[in-house]
Amino acid sequence: IDGNEGGGTLSLNTQKAVIDLPLVFHEKLAFDALIAQAGWAKKDDQYEIKFNNISFSSPDLVGSVFGTYQTVADSRGVIDLSGSASRAEARGVGRYVPLQVGERSRNWIETAVQGGVASDIKVRVKGNLNDFPFAENRGGTFEVTARLAGGVLDYSRGWPKMENVEGDLKLHGRRMDVIVRDASILGAKLARVRAEIPDLGNSDRILAVSGEAEGPTGEFLKFIEQSPVIDLVDRFTTGVQAEGRG
């Protein structure tokens, strides 16, 4: 560290680092390695902090971020941040979801995403943090995109899991979309599947899933038996067997 209250620079190269940001994340973030170069300058009783390069690695995530943060009176400040990650274990992604997204939605992400690997991850945050997560681009931008491979999605309690998920994830403001190119449920093959939550901040959020399925007819009967549909049809299909494909 080299500086004073008027400005300075910081260089950091450490292992086994722990970052505690209780106003941003619901738990401490642990990193196997953390390298950072930053500088700060004071102007008119406010500070501007520049993150020239911050790279990190953990069991869940390998990536880097850069950008600026400016303090603002009576505000959480203004941020302009870009980040990327080459790899992330999908199961651990929930711990990196900001508190502002909403507790129920964050809990859904933590429990629903049960496996797989994310790659080509891009993050963009820009605007006054008082308005975060910038619903419908009001006051700024919050966007996360990633490619998913080998994913396991337990999208709703009581329904069969979606497995072998290959697709794209996008968080934009308060909205989440998952575009699935290929996946399976039980023995049925899925295609052109779209899962969306229009408002992650809504405690009464609605998850909508649509798509196409193809496979042995018996697997569709199994889907009925292993989902809430069995009660909707008064267990009519119990014991029914079928051949062919549907």
* pLDDT tens, position by position, 73-91: 989 899 999 999 988 988 8
Query: In this structure, are residues 109 and 94 in contact, taking their beta carbons and an 8 Å threshold?
Result: yes
Q: Is the pLDDT of residue 240 over 50?
A: no
Query: Mean pLDDT, to the nearest integer, of 143-149?
Result: 92
The region that residue 170 occupies, defined by phi over 0 for left and psi between -120 and 50 for alpha, beta otherwise, is beta
pLDDT given for residue 229 in this prediction: 52
- Band (pLDDT 50/70/90 cuts) for residue 62 is very high
Q: What Rg, from alpha-carbon coordinates, does the chain have?
A: 22
239: Cβ contacts below 8 Å, ≥ 6 apart: none
Task: Give the pLDDT confidence of 189-239 residue by residue, as tens digits.
Answer: 887 888 888 887 776 666 787 887 776 555 545 555 655 555 545 555 555
> The tokens of 10 are what?
């910081």
C-alpha distances in angstroms, 50 versus 82, 148, 198, 219, 229? 12, 31, 33, 55, 54
Measuring CA to CA, which residue among 222, 246, 225, 221 is closest to residue 235?
225
Return the percent helix, strand and coil in the chain, to nearest 5.
15, 55, 30
